[in-house]
Amino acid sequence: MGDGAVTAHSTIGAPPTVAHGGRLDAARRLYPDAPQPWIDLSTGVNPRAYPLPPVADEVFTRLPDDDAFAALERAARRSYGAPAGADIVAGGGTQAFIQLLPRVFPAKRVAVLGFTYAEHAACWATSGAEVDVVETMDALAEAEAAVIVNPNNPDGRFLEPQEILSAASRMSQRGGLLIVDESFMDFTPERSVARFANDAALIVLRSFGKTYGLPGARLGFALASRSRAATLRAALGPWAVSGPALAIGASALADDAWRAGAAQLAARDAARLDALLAQAGFHIAGGTTLFRLAAHPNAARWFARLAARGVLTRAFVEKPDWLRFGLPGNDDAWSRLAEALESVDGG
Amino acid sequence: MGDGAVTAHSTIGAPPTVAHGGRLDAARRLYPDAPQPWIDLSTGVNPRAYPLPPVADEVFTRLPDDDAFAALERAARRSYGAPAGADIVAGGGTQAFIQLLPRVFPAKRVAVLGFTYAEHAACWATSGAEVDVVETMDALAEAEAAVIVNPNNPDGRFLEPQEILSAASRMSQRGGLLIVDESFMDFTPERSVARFANDAALIVLRSFGKTYGLPGARLGFALASRSRAATLRAALGPWAVSGPALAIGASALADDAWRAGAAQLAARDAARLDALLAQAGFHIAGGTTLFRLAAHPNAARWFARLAARGVLTRAFVEKPDWLRFGLPGNDDAWSRLAEALESVDGG
């Protein structure tokens, strides 16, 4: 969930700090005079959330039982298209798996296809691995474990399933692991490798909170071979997902009509956002339907000016020309963004 | 959360299976003709749940931010009486910490003061540790890491803070770790060692869901020295607690009046339960105010007979004479239990 961009080598006991979007609390302190309410465009979370179904008190007052997990995982299996030979494991957000993977499947040499969501490299580095952030698929080949974020955050770079499966096949031959973080794949399911998750080298991560606009529920999934999935399930232990997340997730993942509609709305909004940003002099450098990556020589000044007007975007320390914009969620947010982009000279 | 009782040695990749209470799904399958609704007395969860406060949609639609974690941890720090030199870390249930500790603070020789909640031994064994379940405090002395559940589940055995601090002091001298699982301590705070959690050897675990009757929220805490707490926090990663759990937990932990009232009600109910069980021929072998441990030569037959009447209790494979009873939560549950206990000849 969320996103970061600090690539770090580290050792056990000195965990690297990763910057994330969604830090309205920090923004409020830095820009106390910004108009209220803040328009938070700093994440890739769908602002048109899945309508929260009524949640029975019992989901809080009882321990979630195996049947509740089974129902959720059935809905996820169908929604993501998991093949018969794969299993699917629910956890408290994609991040929970990113934290867990280096501990459960330790590796000494790890490669991450960058520039990308920084938590992958950070968590592997914290486990004591030597982590290389590489630029090409070929450069993944020597690692014991490799990470690909597809589509990539923040630039939206897409790899074809065939490229990923070729890399998985090479990994397989030497018992390695290929993690494919598909946190932003829900609106382009035809490009997912979830349907190949029975491959012994593959672990596919899926996020619930971003697409469904409910990141506070804390829900994510790992798809993998039965053997790897059993190891992950044992490492998470019982009751790794809250009662409300189990109930809401099972409803939402069964609702194909909502997802189809959400994909259309997000695509429309993404195009509208591109037009606004282009008009203000930004170059659209990429993104997915849930966020757009915009480049500008004065991106840092734009960040500050937008923040002073109560619009929070995502800047990247390592990429000073970039700003990432999530989708505005309502008419007021669109107006505030448009005004903020017009009212200042970005030059 | 919940409880188990299978003590197991194991190796990585072959996680032991632990039995738990709260498995109404399984009970329904085993006893399909039992009268509805089931009366679930198989857990130690308070049936008088903290009244759920209204939860804003925003706790689901936004990523929980640092301020929300800080507010919850402030409330927990005050409620549990954490000392200045200690830090408190929120996670998705006590079980999340039990899973995490062997990975974060690895040890080869581990001792667990038994007979107790089985997940401690199971999780250490899964990490590759050699785990001894011991019967005396002295027998903990040789281990690199030791676990005490206080008050103990299921028999309610209490250790005085001074005994625990002595053990911690011995552990400290050789850099060891003493984990004190205080999941059932909330109604006897004067006996807690949370106020000594700045001790470098100590990690104190506290459960939210049991006392507050909201185990589905998935919330628990670890109190430890700043250094150990920082390591735990980094291992959990960002957003390890859901938005609703953060909001509900912060409210509930600030509500001393509710907790005081809940303690009185639970004590009254525990005495009432003891009387009912004694009348039916059980010997009260121990327990806490949230559950009672009852012994009977025909405990297994009692389990089956109660289950056939829709009353689920907790049996222990290793302790065939024991049944554990949680508190009935309403008049109907009390009546159903009383009738079930009267209607059969337990002999």
Query: In chain B, pLDDT over 90 holds for what percent of residues?
Result: 90
Residues A76 and A215 in one domain: yes
User: In this predicted structure, what is the pLDDT of residue A345?
Assistant: 60
Contact A242 B239 (CB under 8 A): no
Contact B237 A119 (CB under 8 A): yes
CB contacts of A93 in chain B (<8 Å) are: 239
Q: Is B134 inside a domain boundary?
A: yes
Average the pLDDT over A10-27 and give the result: 66
Q: Report the CATH number that the domain containing residue A274 is assigned in CATH.
A: 3.90.1150.10
Contact B60 A92 (CB under 8 A): no
Query: In chain A, pLDDT over 70 holds for what percent of residues?
Result: 94
Q: How far is A214 from chain B (nearest CA, A)?
A: 4
Q: Is A334 inside a domain boundary?
A: yes
Can you give the pTM of this predicted structure?
A: 0.94
Residues B195 and B104 in one domain: yes
**What is the band of A11 on the pLDDT scale with cuts at 50, 70, 90?**
very low
pLDDT (tens digit per residue) in A146-194: 999 999 999 999 999 999 999 999 999 989 999 999 999 999 999 999 9
pLDDT (tens digit per residue) in A242-297: 999 999 999 999 999 999 999 999 999 999 999 999 999 999 999 999 999 999 99
pLDDT (tens digit per residue) in B173-222: 989 999 999 999 999 999 999 999 999 999 999 999 999 999 999 999 99
Interface size, chain A vs chain B, as Cβ–Cβ contacts under 8 Å: 175
Residues B160 and B276 in one domain: no
Residues B214 and B273 in one domain: no
Q: Is A57 inside a domain boundary?
A: no
* Chain B residue whose CA is closest to A15: B234
User: In this predicted structure, what is the pLDDT of residue B19?
Assistant: 85
Residues B187 and B287 in one domain: no
Domain that holds residue A304: 6-49+257-343
Residues B140 and B35 in one domain: no
Query: Does A111 score more than 50 pLDDT?
Result: yes
Residue that terminates a domain, selected from A254, A278, A304? A254
User: In this predicted structure, what is the pLDDT of residue B17?
Assistant: 59
Pick among B1, B104, B242 to test the A interface (most A CBs inside 10 A) = B242
Query: In chain A, pLDDT over 90 holds for what percent of residues?
Result: 91
Q: Report the CATH number that the domain containing residue A84 is assigned in CATH.
A: 3.40.640.10
Contact A63 B43 (CB under 8 A): yes
CB contacts of A242 in chain B (<8 Å) are: 92, 216-218, 242, 244-245
A200 with A172: CB under 8 angstroms?
yes
Query: Does A338 score more than 50 pLDDT?
Result: yes
Give the pairing type, strands B130-134 and B109-113.
parallel
Query: Does B341 score more than 80 pLDDT?
Result: yes
Average the pLDDT over A113-128 and give the result: 96
A151: preceding bond cis by omega (within 30 degrees):
yes
User: In this predicted structure, what is the pLDDT of residue B347?
Assistant: 45
| Three-class DSSP labels, B130-183 | EEEEECCCHHHCCCCEEEEECCCCCCCCCCCHHHHHHHHHHHHHCCCEEEEECC
Q: Is B1 inside a domain boundary?
A: no
**Nearest in space to A36 (alpha carbons), one of A22, A44, A24, A49:** A24
Contact A58 B216 (CB under 8 A): yes
Residues B217 and B266 in one domain: no
Greatest extent of chain B over all pairs of C-alpha atoms, in Å? 58
Contact B66 A25 (CB under 8 A): yes
Per-residue b or e along A268-295, where b marks 16 or more CB atoms closer than 10 Å to that residue's CB: ebbeebbebbeebebebbbbbbbbbbbb
Average the pLDDT over B250-277 and give the result: 98
Query: Does B51 score more than 60 pLDDT?
Result: yes
Query: Does A45 score more than 90 pLDDT?
Result: yes
Q: How far is A145 from chain B (nearest CA, A)?
A: 19
* Chain B residue whose CA is closest to A46: B61
* Chain A residue whose CA is closest to B12: A231
Residues B316 and B217 in one domain: no
CB contacts of B98 in chain A (<8 Å) are: 237
Distance of CA B303 to the CA centre of its chain: 22
Q: For A216, which of B92, B238, B243 is closest by C-beta distance?
A: B243
Residues A100 and A199 in one domain: yes
Q: Is B164 inside a domain boundary?
A: yes
Q: Is B57 inside a domain boundary?
A: no
Give the pairing type, strands A145-149 and A130-134.
unpaired
A16 vs A301, which has greater pLDDT? A301
* Chain A residue whose CA is closest to B231: A13
**What is the band of A81 on the pLDDT scale with cuts at 50, 70, 90?**
very high
Query: Does A114 score more than 90 pLDDT?
Result: yes
User: In this predicted structure, what is the pLDDT of residue A344?
Assistant: 61
Query: Does B36 score more than 70 pLDDT?
Result: yes
Residues B268 and B227 in one domain: no
Contact B1 A231 (CB under 8 A): no
Average the pLDDT over A88-94 and give the result: 98
CA pseudo-torsion sign B246, B248, B249, B253 = positive
Residues A82 and A146 in one domain: yes
Residue that terminates a domain, selected from A195, A221, A254? A254
User: In this predicted structure, what is the pLDDT of residue B345?
Assistant: 60
Q: How far is A291 from chain B (nearest CA, A)?
A: 16
User: In this predicted structure, what is the pLDDT of residue B150?
Assistant: 98
Residues B95 and B236 in one domain: yes
Number of domain units in chain B = 2
Contact A231 B99 (CB under 8 A): no
Average the pLDDT over B18-46 and give the result: 93
Query: Does A15 score more than 50 pLDDT?
Result: no
Pick among B94, B218, B312 to test the A interface (most A CBs inside 10 A) = B218
**What is the band of A228 on the pLDDT scale with cuts at 50, 70, 90?**
very high
Residue that terminates a domain, selected from A216, A234, A254? A254
Q: Is A1 inside a domain boundary?
A: no
Average the pLDDT over B264-291 and give the result: 98
